[in-house]
Structure 1
Amino acid sequence: MSPSPESAVSGLAAARAGDTAALGRLLESYRSYLLLLARIQIGRRLQSKADPADVVQDTFLDAHRQFPAFRGETADALAAWLRRVLAGQLAHLVRRYFGTEARDVRLEQSIEQELDSSSQSIARGLSHPGTSPSESAARREDLARLGDALERLTPDYRDVILLRQLEGLPFAEVARRMGRTEDAVQKLWVRGLVALRRALDGSP
């Protein structure tokens, strides 16, 4: 679960005071959120030929190193900063995968914009128009819950939901990506949505 705005602020204060355990707990609370974004980006750019969990772990290591330079004071500011750190890790992965080790700031900026767009799109799908600040906080928690629930699904269910629901790909492209027939993918998608609803409800 992502932290509430109040707990994020207190966690930031403790981390800035030198409490490394508080910083670790604060970063850990964003794991599912970052995993969700990493899965979408890796699926788009690398056809899922990388482990999102490894990328997020590297993001946390980099965030620990860079934390003294972070000046934000809110949960939203921290989420935005972590997306930027994640973008740097993803850009490095893309360069390595395609054999171009030279740093490309434009690539990092492009990935960061895509991460921001993915985060906003998912959040909009979890909310209603005209949300209040308290509803926005609940929406952030819902996004983290979605990430947690997706992590509990089987890989096939998770992949079909990411490709169809979160990337908005047509069934034909989802079938191509997953190496299945279009009919099989449609049936898998329906079962996956049922499993996701159960996971979100906490059902076994």
Structure 2
Amino acid sequence: MRKQFLVFPLLVLGIVGVYAFRGLSIDGSSAPSVLIGQEAPAIELGAVPGYPGPFGQEAFGGEVTLVNIWGSWCIYCLYEHPVLLEMQSEGVLIYGIAWNDAPDDAAAWLERHGSPFAAVGLDPEGYAVAQFGVTGAPETFVIDKEGVVRFRYVGPISERDWRRVIKPLIADLENESASS
């Protein structure tokens, strides 16, 4: 009888272990979005004090653009920030949306860490990020020259992901538009 009591917990632990290891193998960085292939959402945002802005949907067109959703409260945004600065130094046009932030907090964060953004809008209530279907910060969207959302990246962009995923995508989108 005692052996049966020992087998049940081991069986449950084994099942939980299988699901846990399966979950670790899921890559959430490239997440599907209903916006892929659709025009970028029509948004109008106020500016973060002391930084270029505001911006709206008219910013998404003419050049391949990234829209990065971040917050001064977001620890993963701090991890990603040096990569965004590098991307900007390599000529990538990035617009930022400060999500769920107070204007002074967002401005102080950018002052302390630098701004990679051509313009940065303030979305204190989360209305703009809801139109993008954002589930958390950071998230980044790649928008083509026609203003169409082509890619969604969930989570902090690492140096590796910038080099292997996003940079080649931007190059392809720039070449695609040039050859049309």
TM class by shorter-chain length?
under 0.3
Structure of higher CA gyration radius? 2
Q: What TM-score results when the alignment is normalised by the length of structure 2?
A: 0.27
Q: What TM-score results when the alignment is normalised by the length of structure 1?
A: 0.25
Would you tell me which structure has more strand in proportion to its own residues?
2
